[in-house]
Each structure stands twice: as structure tokens, then as C-alpha cells.
Amino acid sequence: MSTVTILGSTGSIGLSTLRVLRGLRDEFPVYGLSCRASLDVLEEQVREFRPAVVAVSGSGPNGSVDISEIKKKFPGTEFLEGEEGVTELASRPVDILVSAIVGAAGLRPTIAAIPHVKRIALANKETLVMAGDIVSDMIRDYGVELLPVDSEHSAVFMLLKGLNSVDVRRIVLTASGGSLRDRSAEELRHVTSREALAHPTWNMGNKITIDSATLMNKGLEVIEAHHLFGFAYDDIDVIIHPESVIHSMVETGDGVIYAHMSVTDMALPIMNALVYPDIRGNSFGRLNLAEVGSMTFRPYDRERFPALDLCCRVGRTGGTGPAVLNAANEVCVAAFLEDRISFVDIAAIVEKTVSGHHITARPDLGDILDADRWGRAEAERFIDAAGVRN
């Protein structure tokens, strides 16, 4: 048996992980769960999976979530509170930690877990975007397995395992293009958050769905791929593939391209990260190419969607730059969802914020967290200057 802790169990990835674990209960007992504030969902999960420990980051002295009632319902479960409680849960020894907290909030718990777990199934891309060098060094020093859960990176991981990596010339990450891929530049200036949240192929949380629409998500994935697989930025490409059937490709030196295809269900990369190196049968659906009919590809539009190139530039520079980029983007996405800025303001304000940052070339974790705080404050300043959008 392999014990599992899920950070972010009430989010999209957390829910999919528990969906997978329902079919693997005897092999993967759940030790711990964490969430921010969704107590109704959490209560159902605790009742079903009976974890030993639960952490709620939105509770505690500085939080607004009252967990007194849920604690009464489960007297045999240990409850931890606040962000420190989530970090403490992450540091409890288990076989597999699923890091599924969205955003920079997942960084500290994931780092805290590294000395105490055997494998990290990483869905929190911000961990590598913000602190890729630090995390990579720790993973190596502690001998921890780091397996990606993002569908694109899981696909690359599986493809590379079947090839001699020295023969691989480049990685190609596919992108659906998001909900606004066919909108003109003028139309993008006036889209609503509701329109941007209508993703054509994937069911994701609000933040990631907006990132998909701006292509910021794909840019963050390029940075993540650089740290996961050690490829130079010039050897990581992105192509728009609206059908989302091919999740990634790799090209070898002889010009052959190998593609990883499956249905669009996050249960598959999650299961791969849990059972690797085994391959299991699944009940989540199989790809029917006759029903797909055809697949299309096109380059991304750099003028309409500048966020992707911005991420690549910042990733190449490194240091504290990616932490500032990520922080500014999180603040801008929240502001867009609150109708405080327009869709096109997101990338513009992130770029302004990054441009004003003095980069620390070889940061430690404290430098990265300082850069994160600075980026949030600076982005808020630009948002206030942009004015409220009606």
C-alpha cells in the first residue's frame, strides 16, 4: 500500500484525484486532505475517505473559516488550521503527496514535503515556475520522485520514458487556445469574464481557465517543462491544437514526431502519477479516432496573446523574475474576474510589473517570497491606475 496526501482536495485536480482513488482504495489509502474554505465538499470527502489529518488554510486566527462544527462531526480526525497547518500536513511522511493547490500558495507546502515523501505528483506548476532551481536541487538531494500531473507534462514524461532522451531534439506542448482563440484583437478588448470562462474542451477552475484564455497558462507550462525535463527554452515549442486530443509531442533528431493522445480527462495523468511505472486499465473513457474525425494545428498569435512570449522571456532571465510574473498574473486574473480590469489588461499589467522589478539572479526561498509579495503589490498599483471597468 502507498499512503497519499492531497493538498487542494476540493479543487478540480483534487476532485479528480479522489475519483481515481475510489477505484484504488485498497492500494492507496488517504492519509491527509487540505482545502482553503470549501467545508461542505471537504465534509463529504472526510466521511468517505476517513483521512487521519485534515488542514484548512482559511481557518485559524487570521482566517475567516470556522471549522468548529466539522471538527465535532469527526472527533477521530486531526484538524490543522491556517497556511501553517497545510505546510505541517505536507511535512507529514507519506508515500505520495499530490500537490494540487492552485497558485503560489502551493509553493511552501510542496517544498516542506520534499524531505518527507517518496513521490510528489505535481499539479501545482507555480512551484517550479517560482522556485524551479531550488526545488530541482532538493528533489535530487533527497532522492524524491517528481512526476507531473499536468496533462501536457505527463504526456512528455511518458514519451521520454520510451525514448533515448539524448535523441530528442525538441518538446512540443499543445494548447487548446482557450475560450477566446478565435476572437479578434478588438473583440478581446471587450470580452466578459463569463465568456473567458467558457473553455471549449477542459473543465478547470476559474483561475486556470482564464490563464488558458490568455495563453499565460501555456507560458507557465513552458517554464515548468524547462525545469522538469532540462530542455532549453529554444527547444520547447507550443502549437495550437483545438481538439485537445494530442497532449504533447516530442521530436527526435531524425525528424520523427511522437505524439501522446488520449481523451481529455485529468484522471488519466493523475492515475499515471500514482501507479507509475505500472500501466492500469481505466474506466474514464478511451479515445475513438473515428469519432474525432480530424485534428488541426496552427501557430499561436503573438500579437493577440502576448502572455506566452512574455513567460518565455522571463523564464530565460530566471532569478526572481518568474515569481514576480506569477504573482502579478494571479492578482490580475482576480481583478479581471471582479471586473476591475479588461481581458487585455492582464498581460499588459503583468509585463509592466515584471519590467519594473530588479531581478535577484540566484535567489533563496526568502528572496522568492519577497519577490512574490512585491509583484502582488506592484500589480495592484497598476490595477488601481487602470480604473474600474463597467
Q: What is the pLDDT of residues 102-138, one digit of tens each?
A: 999 999 999 999 999 999 999 999 999 999 999 999 9
Classify residue 39: in a domain, yes or no.
yes
Q: For residue 226, what is the domain's CATH number? A: 1.10.1740.10
| Domain limit, last residue, from 105, 124, 143 | 124
Classify residue 180: in a domain, yes or no.
yes
Classify residue 230: in a domain, yes or no.
yes
Which one is predicted more confidently, 31 or 62? 31
- 158 and 289 both lie in a single domain: yes
Classify residue 335: in a domain, yes or no.
yes
Q: For residue 231, is pLDDT > 50? A: yes
pLDDT at position 388, please? 52
- 207 and 59 both lie in a single domain: no
Peptide bond into 115 cis (omega under 30): no
pLDDT at position 301, please? 95
- 214 and 357 both lie in a single domain: yes
- 170 and 99 both lie in a single domain: no
What mean pLDDT do residues 311-339 have? Answer: 97
Counting the structural domains of the chain, the total is 2
Q: Please return the burial class of 302, using the count of CB atoms within 10 Å of its CB with bins 0-12, 13-18 and 19+.
A: exposed
166: confidence class by pLDDT, cuts 50, 70, 90: confident
| Domain limit, last residue, from 83, 109, 124 | 124
Tell me which of 12-21, 185-194, 195-204, 224-233 is least confident: 195-204
- 177 and 113 both lie in a single domain: no
Q: Which domain holds residue 289?
A: 154-386
Share of the chain above pLDDT 90, in %: 88
Q: What is the pLDDT of residues 280-293, one digit of tens each?
A: 887 888 899 999 99
Q: For residue 243, is pLDDT > 50? A: yes
Average pLDDT, the chain: 94
- 106 and 216 both lie in a single domain: no
390: confidence class by pLDDT, cuts 50, 70, 90: very low
Classify residue 139: in a domain, yes or no.
no
Q: For residue 100, is pLDDT > 50? A: yes
- 91 and 223 both lie in a single domain: no
Classify residue 141: in a domain, yes or no.
no
- 183 and 88 both lie in a single domain: no
Q: For residue 107, what is the domain's CATH number? A: 3.40.50.720
What mean pLDDT do residues 368-376 have? Answer: 98
Q: For residue 384, is pLDDT > 70? A: yes
- 239 and 366 both lie in a single domain: yes
Classify residue 129: in a domain, yes or no.
no
- 43 and 183 both lie in a single domain: no
What mean pLDDT do residues 293-314 have? Answer: 96
- 95 and 164 both lie in a single domain: no
Classify residue 278: in a domain, yes or no.
yes
Q: What is the pLDDT of residues 27-52, one digit of tens each?
A: 999 999 999 999 999 999 999 999 99
- 104 and 164 both lie in a single domain: no
